[in-house]
Amino acid sequence: MHIDIITVLPEILQGPFDCSIIKRAQKQGLAEIEIHNLRDYSTDLKHRRVDDAAFGFSAGMVMQIEPIDRAITHLKSLRHYDEVIYTSPDGETFNQGMANSMSMYENIIILCGHYKGIDHRIREHLITKEISIGDYVLTGGELAAAVITDSLVRLIPGVLHDEQAAFSDCFQDDLLAAPIYTRPADYKGWKVPEILLSGNERKVREWELEQALERTRQLRPDLLEKRNM
């Protein structure tokens, strides 16, 4: 998978992509992540400006259409993209099902919003998908881009040592995960459930499903409603 991220603050994204699973995926050639400074596409050679005041009476600065168009056009001249994504609070809410589907893509662009937002014509003519990571507002879309990238890359075959681990995570099948434990089995009298020590895989799987359903019922009943639709 090749992911191009367009941002006015590339330094925010350097840390998250230079450690742990994401770093290993890139080192193994399973994922390519390129961060592009939008200011490199500014028509203002002196100040490298990429924003301007909004028309009308709206407060705040708006990301200009021309630098973004130039950046996306340049990238599209290099390869075909499955999606051109804009991180936006009013986009489709990102979830595990979306991550599963998008992990099959070969190439995507993620445009990080900033300031008051982007010229709406970009959304009308250049963006193919808008994604939100929750009902709140961030200073910019960089953290959202990092979340989306991390979620997709870990699903690429070969990235995780145990590929099945990704498919037993929370939200796969619209359920929260069952409780998990490790050694010691008894710590200060706090004991691991006996069923997990039994060695009976069928019984353990049944227990895990029961626990997942109960935790979801208590903590996220909305997921069960979605599951039963």
* Same-domain pairing of 103 and 129: yes
* Complete DSSP assignment for 136-151: S--SSSHHHHHHHHHH
Pull the structure tokens for residue 202.
Answer: 């069928």
Looking up tokens 């003519």 gives 125
* Residue closest to 138 by CA, chosen among 163, 117, 109: 117
Helix, strand and coil percent figures for the chain, each rounded to 5:
40, 20, 40
Residues pairing with 62 in the sheet: 52
- 9 and 94 in a single domain? The answer is yes
pLDDT of residue 171: 59
Q: Answer yes or no: do 119 and 216 share one domain.
A: no
In-domain check, residue 163: no
Closest residue by Cα to residue 13 from 108, 110, 78, 86: 110
Q: Residue 70 has what pLDDT?
A: 98
Per the domain annotation, does 63 fall within a domain? yes
- Supply the pLDDT for residue 165: 56
Nearest of 174, 97, 93 to residue 134 by alpha carbon = 93
State residue 81's pLDDT score.
98
The pLDDT value given to residue 201: 96
| Residue 87 placed within a domain | yes
Going from the C-alpha of 13 to that of each of 6, 21, 34, 72, 112, the distances in angstroms are 11, 15, 10, 19, 11
At 158-197, the pLDDT tens digits run: 998 765 555 555 556 788 989 999 999 999 999 999 999 9
CATH code (residue 180) = 1.10.1270.20
Q: Are residues 116 and 70 part of one domain?
A: yes
CATH number of the domain enclosing 137: 3.40.1280.10
Q: Is the Cβ–Cβ distance between 87 and 112 less than 8 Å?
A: yes
Note whether 118 and 43 are same-domain residues: yes
In a domain, 213, yes or no: yes
Domain that holds residue 54: 2-153
**pLDDT beneath 70: ranges in the chain:** 162-172, 229
80 lies in the same domain as 37: yes
**Domain end call among 125, 153, 181:** 153
Report the pLDDT value the prediction gives residue 172, as an integer from 0 to 100.
61
Cα–Cα dist 173/10, whole Å? 35
What per-residue confidence (pLDDT) applies to 173?
Answer: 75
Do 11 and 107 lie in a common domain? Answer: yes
Q: Looking at the structure, do residues 37 and 138 belong to the same domain, yes or no?
A: yes
Structural domain count of the chain: 2
